[in-house]
Chain A
Amino acid sequence: MSAADPLQVLASAGKGESTRSVLRVIILALIAGAAISSRLFSVIRFESIIHEFDPWFNFRATKYLVANGFYNFWDWFDDRTWHPLGRVTGGTLYPGLMVTSGVIYHALRALTIPVDIRNICVLLAPGFSGLTAIAAYLLTNEMTPSPSAGLLAALFMGIAPGYISRSVAGSYDNEAIAIFLLVFTFYLWIKALKQGSMLWGALCALFYGYMVASWGGYAFITCLLPLHSFVLICMGRYSTRLYVAYTTWYALGTLASMQIPFVGFLPVKTSEHMPALGIFGFLQLLAFLDYVRSAIPSRQFQTFLWLFAGTAFGVGLLGLVVATSMGFIAPWSGRFYSLWDTGYAKIHIPIIASVSEHQPTAWPAFFFDLQMLVWLFPVGVYLLFQELADEHVFIVVYALFGSYFAGVMVRLMLTLTPVVCVAAAIAVSHLLDIYLNAKSPENPDAAADKDADGKKGGKAGLKSTNKPLVGIYAGWVKSVIVSSFAIYLLLFVMHCTWVTSNAYSSPSVVLASRLPDGSQHIIDDYREAYQWLRQNTREDAKIMSWWDYGYQIGGMADRPTLVDNNTWNNTHIATVGKAMASSEERSYPIMRQHEVDYVLVVFGGLLGYSGDDINKFLWMVRIAEGIWPDEVKERDFFTARGEYRVDGDATETMKNSVMYKTSYYNYQNLFPPGQAVDRMRGVRLPEVGPQLTHLEEAFTSENWIIRIYKVKDLDNLGRDHASAVAFDKGVKKKKPAKKKGPRVLRVE
């Protein structure tokens, strides 16, 4: 039925609609193909590998699902993360992604095509991007009669870097499928709204449920649809169509969303979901009033009714506020709240602020991700104002909020991209429709009254569209516009390809560098170290590292970790931060109490690798300080002049911290005496490196990116390690170790 509306449009266009629809299908298929293939850079350049950090968990969870079946997955308690707490994984994740690829996996099995689950996970995102392009096509076709707009939108959607950034092959993250669901849910919503059909509403609710199961970003839909309805109501556009569509969606969709354990009763308890509920109630009220009004035609009564409605709305809002303040309704969750109060996260939740993708967006990022769409986007929005039908209002609202959120958080560029593509496509197609029109009007006055849709603008319309549409006279004008936009589109495609291949296609697990002779050299330290851990350490050896690497260790090294990227327990993370930030003597008890066997740090000094732990160290300190303000102080890591240094002038606290010691231990021996330099920080290091007492170097990868240290066992003679090391070095001890006998763990 996707092709239905364009067909009706084409019926007016005249003959050959079937050939056109065939052409359209072919073009769509090609676009989907382009969308998929443009995301395969990393597979071609490197290999079919899972990227980044979070995808490694999704991958691991998917393997668990495939191996142990759905119900075991549902109540999966993972004791190999968050040691010793463990994690109720089944109840704390969005299962949509894993279930999707699990289903695909079993379907292929049934077709006797045993594809490795890894390849399915790697290629899931590109596959769904093809579907997203088609969904964008459908959504756009609901917006404009122009048949070309949809195809353009599909094309933009397919190759816009803003979306590619999260959907290249291997980035097996929730967004991979969520964006398709987002766009398709919106399409169904528009469909339901336009037809006032319960069927479409139910479908919308169904896909909304799928979305909820897939991504935490579903809150965007949960807030956008009510907002759209509210705006429509305020514009006096209340209609039974709206009533049917919204109520169907809300009732079914909420029920569907509550089936996800992770969501549970949030839809009726948290503020994010309250707008939807409020509008739902308000719509009931309006429906009632509408009925009454239709029954009793009296002006005063109507005005009274409207007042009543307004007050009721106000009262409801007030009640909501009260309920929130009384605590019946949970206030906004931190992540979500930080979207409104932009300063909030930095002060209160450093963990959220520390994530790079939660930073605000500078303008180059917008241009980088959208190129010329960024200015075509407002044009399209403006054009939608011409005839401001209900669905157009939706796009306008979406555009406003999408661009706001994208400005606040880099990551939410993702939710903005679809509407940008739709609007820009409308703009471009409008231009082309006008300037590609072969026949020119003969003479002005004749054209003026002949042109039928001159009145289209009307009184309510835009000022600019009051005059009748004439058309373009000069042929060269048309050719100029067409050629220039052809060039622009070509440039856009080149831009997208360039961005994708240069910025978004490196799997951050494997680093690529160029040798002098220009050939590619793979730096594979992560996997080297993880493989070493996996093969040559105890099956249940606990690894302590910063939370960024938790998922990778779980996925590749298959060893229990203390913290990982699912940052649900701030205190636990702060504990690790404290252990990293304080001196060996102080952190040794922490490690022992958490049964840590190995400490893993990432060090970019030799290679000039920027994403290493010394650069992240301040965040560890801040997070730890948030919990133990007396024991860890960020100030102590800055020199008296307030600089953050790692060389000879580093503060004592810095030099004694476990992180500093483990990063630079033995590093100076790699250089001739006094020549040791940190290529990342670009500073010269002191001649004598740090000495370790409670840890010992266990493994260091080829380029020193990963360094693994073994936590020493308690000393056999009951000495503390410092004196033990001193003794082994043959240093004369001041006072002999008096504690013989049972080995005890000293806790300062």
Chain B
Amino acid sequence: MKTSVVFSAFLSLLSLASAATTSSDRKTYPSTFRPPQVFKNANLVHIISLEKNYVKESINVLVENIDKSPQNEYYVPFTADQLSRLGGVEVKDRKDGSVGPFVAEAVELDQSDTHYIRIRLPKALAPGAQQALGITYYLLKAYAPRPASIKQEDQQHLAYAFSAYAPSAYATSKQKTDVKFPSSTIAEYTKLPGSGDVARFPQQQGSKLTYGPFDEKPAGASQPVAVRYEFNKPVTHVSRLERDVEVSHWGGNVAFEERYTLHHRGANLSALFNRVKWQQSQYYQPNTWALKELKFPLRAGSADAYYTDVIGNVSTSRFRSGKREALLEVRPRYPVFGGWKYPFTIGWNSDAKSYLRKTPAGGFVLNVPFLEGPRQAEGVEYEQVQVRVILPEGARNVKFHTTIPTQSIASADVEIHRTFLDTIGRTALIIQARNLVDELRDRELLVSYDYPLSASLRKPLVVFASAMAVFFAAWVVGRVELKFDVAGKK
């Protein structure tokens, strides 16, 4: 069934590859630009989930065309700051899932704090017609720890500020905002006067707060509210992830290496680290907001994993490779508290058969996960991700397709990478993405390329020839007579 996926994706390669590249250069509009008021949000439900250490927001909106002519461009406003931290924007049709994700691209206004995400509806919406949109996106670096620095044994609290009214470029007749928390202990939250039959907002059920329902609100209306709640887990933030995927046809091997630059964005220590307290806390209350362990679920058949940092091998890691999946558990050299850094590198090999396919056309298709970060209960956020697929020497005609939301793909280009015994260097596809989260772990990356036989034979021939040359040179040198006179007496 996997192969069918590959091919179905492979057919649509060309178009999507081009789309990815166009998304890299954004068009900027004058600051006077305002979205034409052609839509109206008939009903809107805004769900903000704070369970992970990034914010996942989803806006389910029923839009209605109130214009005379059919319209196909729906705008969602964001502040410049939000836009820089915005990732993984996906828009779906709520009614039928068969319609693929709509194209969503950033529209930036110069000297203006308000920018937009433009959503292109696949087919224009007739006047008066309605369409249900499901817009989901992630916001990184969304929280601030409050208090900013706490004692080693204290609980960590995070604060998040947002608007009770969903940000919208259009008038909204009916809306409500749900906020989901990791636990039901919510220290503080803004209270609003109620409307209609509700005395006051918000209402709390378990670990969920609900603001609304609100009645008619104009375009761009906002009602700032803030919540502060317990989040006693590490706020893991990967500011940069460099992921190398190196394909070797001779070795029949695909080598992965990932270099993480990892920060803890949580609360700092108010007093310096105390080992005694730490060792005691290991017994008494093991769950802490310090990062102790990272679990990397790898594809089945992954082998010889390694875990190093700038000084060398880190011995505190376990690798279990089973039938169904392989699990790499790594522990940082020291518990990572708020404000501390811990950069490290992991890597592993796996059999090319499970990633590489030969197409009838004679080319090859490589299908690897775009992102294979750790799977943590509290989640992981990636600010910048660079995926570099190093193809064998002489690979040509490289195209790629990924199911990562195109809005997150910053750039993609093909370069030359020189390494062991290369003469012309290997073809490397480099994709820059930003603002990803670990929920996008298993999105796949398809790379297709041609690899003629001549290219594959290049290396052995070159090595053989040079070795021969060396031997010949040695033979010649051996022939040279060093003595001045052969009959020299000792």
Are A112 and B422 closer than 8 Å at their CB atoms?
yes
Q: Describe B's contact surface by its main secondary structure.
A: loop
Residue on B with the closest CB to A525? B333
Is residue A106 contacting chain B, with contact meaning CB distance below 8 A?
Answer: no
Closest 8 pairs (CB-CB, A-B): A700-B275, A522-B315, A47-B313, A528-B333, A535-B341, A669-B276, A698-B272, A531-B333
Is residue A615 contacting chain B, with contact meaning CB distance below 8 A?
Answer: no
Residue on B with the closest CB to A696? B272
Which stretch of B108-116, B137-145, B289-297, B413-421 is in the interface?
B413-421
Are B421 and A524 closer than 8 Å at their CB atoms?
no
Q: Describe A's contact surface by its main secondary structure.
A: mixed
Is residue A569 contacting chain B, with contact meaning CB distance below 8 A?
Answer: no
Is residue A527 contacting chain B, with contact meaning CB distance below 8 A?
Answer: yes
Set of chain A residues within 8 Å of B275, measured between Cβ atoms = 666, 697, 699-702, 704
User: In the bound complex, how far is the Cα of B310 from the Cα of A49, in angstroms?
Assistant: 12
Given contacts A47-B312, A531-B311, A697-B273, 13 further A-B contacts (CB under 8 A): A112-B419, A528-B333, A535-B340, A535-B342, A556-B311, A666-B274, A697-B272, A697-B274, A698-B273, A699-B272, A700-B273, A700-B274, A702-B275
Q: Which of B423-438 contact A (CB under 8 A)?
A: 423
Set of chain B residues within 8 Å of A522, measured between Cβ atoms = 315
User: In the bound complex, how far is the Cα of B278 from the Cα of A669, in angstroms?
Assistant: 12
Are A670 and B279 closer than 8 Å at their CB atoms?
yes
The one of B272, B276, B315 in contact with A510, judged by C-beta atoms closer than 8 angstroms, is: B315
| A-B contact list, 13 entries, CB within 8 Å | A112-B419, A112-B421, A112-B422, A112-B423, A113-B420, A527-B311, A528-B334, A669-B276, A697-B274, A698-B273, A699-B273, A701-B275, A702-B275
B208-231 near A? 1/0 per residue, CB < 8 Å = 000000000000000000000000
Residue on B with the closest CB to A668? B276
Q: Which of B312-344 contact A (CB under 8 A)?
A: 312-316, 333-334, 339-343
Are A535 and B312 closer than 8 Å at their CB atoms?
no
Set of chain B residues within 8 Å of A666, measured between Cβ atoms = 274-276
Q: Which of B156-180 contact A (CB under 8 A)?
A: none
* Whole-angstrom distance between the Cβ of A656 and the nearest chain B Cβ: 22
Q: Which residues of A contact B (CB under 8 A)?
A: 1, 46-49, 111-114, 195, 510, 522, 524, 527-528, 530-532, 534-536, 556, 666, 669-670, 696-702, 704, 710
* Whole-angstrom distance between the Cβ of B159 and the nearest chain A Cβ: 24
Is residue B57 contacting chain A, with contact meaning CB distance below 8 A?
Answer: no
Is residue B309 contacting chain A, with contact meaning CB distance below 8 A?
Answer: yes
The one of B279, B333, B339, B423 in contact with A524, judged by C-beta atoms closer than 8 angstroms, is: B333
Are B311 and A710 closer than 8 Å at their CB atoms?
no
Are B311 and A114 closer than 8 Å at their CB atoms?
no
Set of chain A residues within 8 Å of B274, measured between Cβ atoms = 666, 697, 700
User: In the bound complex, how far is the Cα of B339 from the Cα of A697, in angstroms?
Assistant: 18
User: In the bound complex, how far is the Cα of B152 from the Cα of A699, in angstroms?
Assistant: 13
Are A532 and B334 closer than 8 Å at their CB atoms?
yes
* Whole-angstrom distance between the Cβ of B72 and the nearest chain A Cβ: 50
Are A699 and B334 closer than 8 Å at their CB atoms?
yes
* Whole-angstrom distance between the Cβ of A529 and the nearest chain B Cβ: 8
* Whole-angstrom distance between the Cβ of A519 and the nearest chain B Cβ: 12
Set of chain A residues within 8 Å of B315, measured between Cβ atoms = 510, 522, 524
Set of chain A residues within 8 Å of B312, measured between Cβ atoms = 47-49, 527
Q: Which residues of B contact A (CB under 8 A)?
A: 272-276, 279, 309-316, 333-334, 339-343, 418-423, 482, 490
* Whole-angstrom distance between the Cβ of A698 and the nearest chain B Cβ: 5
* Whole-angstrom distance between the Cβ of B147 and the nearest chain A Cβ: 20
The one of A49, A111, A113 in contact with B313, judged by C-beta atoms closer than 8 angstroms, is: A49
User: In the bound complex, how far is the Cα of B271 from the Cα of A696, in angstroms?
Assistant: 9
Set of chain A residues within 8 Å of B490, measured between Cβ atoms = 195
Residue on A with the closest CB to B333? A528
Residue on B with the closest CB to A118? B312
Residue on B with the closest CB to A699? B273
Residue on B with the closest CB to A530? B311
User: In the bound complex, how far is the Cα of B276 from the Cα of A113, in angstroms?
Assistant: 48
Residue on B with the closest CB to A532? B334
The one of B272, B310, B313, B420 in contact with A114, judged by C-beta atoms closer than 8 angstroms, is: B420
Set of chain A residues within 8 Å of B273, measured between Cβ atoms = 697-700
* Whole-angstrom distance between the Cβ of B356 and the nearest chain A Cβ: 25
Set of chain A residues within 8 Å of B423, measured between Cβ atoms = 112
Are B272 and A524 closer than 8 Å at their CB atoms?
no
User: In the bound complex, how far is the Cα of B273 from the Cα of A535, in angstroms?
Assistant: 14
Are B279 and A112 closer than 8 Å at their CB atoms?
no
Set of chain B residues within 8 Å of A534, measured between Cβ atoms = 310-311
Set of chain A residues within 8 Å of B310, measured between Cβ atoms = 531, 534
* Whole-angstrom distance between the Cβ of A465 and the nearest chain B Cβ: 25
* Whole-angstrom distance between the Cβ of B230 and the nearest chain A Cβ: 25
User: In the bound complex, how far is the Cα of B339 from the Cα of A332, in angstroms?
Assistant: 54
Residue on B with the closest CB to A194? B490
Are A531 and B482 closer than 8 Å at their CB atoms?
no
Residue on A with the closest CB to B306? A47
Which of B313, B333, B340, B423: most chain A CB closer than 10 A?
A: B333
The one of B316, B339, B418, B482 in contact with A112, judged by C-beta atoms closer than 8 angstroms, is: B418
User: In the bound complex, how far is the Cα of B344 from the Cα of A531, in angstroms?
Assistant: 11
Set of chain B residues within 8 Å of A46, measured between Cβ atoms = 313
User: In the bound complex, how far is the Cα of B272 from the Cα of A522, in angstroms?
Assistant: 26
Are B334 and A531 closer than 8 Å at their CB atoms?
yes
* Whole-angstrom distance between the Cβ of A711 and the nearest chain B Cβ: 12
Set of chain B residues within 8 Å of A114, measured between Cβ atoms = 419-420
User: In the bound complex, how far is the Cα of B312 from the Cα of A48, in angstroms?
Assistant: 8
Set of chain B residues within 8 Å of A510, measured between Cβ atoms = 315
User: In the bound complex, how far is the Cα of B334 from the Cα of A144, in angstroms?
Assistant: 60
With known contacts A697-B272, A698-B272, A112–B420 Cβ distance under 8 A: yes
The one of A113, A527, A710 in contact with B333, judged by C-beta atoms closer than 8 angstroms, is: A527
Are B316 and A524 closer than 8 Å at their CB atoms?
yes
Residue on A with the closest CB to B341? A535
User: In the bound complex, how far is the Cα of B342 from the Cα of A113, in angstroms?
Assistant: 30
Set of chain A residues within 8 Å of B340, measured between Cβ atoms = 535-536
* Whole-angstrom distance between the Cβ of B143 and the nearest chain A Cβ: 21
Set of chain A residues within 8 Å of B339, measured between Cβ atoms = 536
Are A532 and B333 closer than 8 Å at their CB atoms?
yes
Are B334 and A113 closer than 8 Å at their CB atoms?
no
Which of A531, A670, A702: most chain B CB closer than 10 A?
A: A531
* Whole-angstrom distance between the Cβ of B74 and the nearest chain A Cβ: 45
* Whole-angstrom distance between the Cβ of B132 and the nearest chain A Cβ: 48
User: In the bound complex, how far is the Cα of B273 from the Cα of A111, in angstroms?
Assistant: 49
Are A524 and B341 closer than 8 Å at their CB atoms?
no
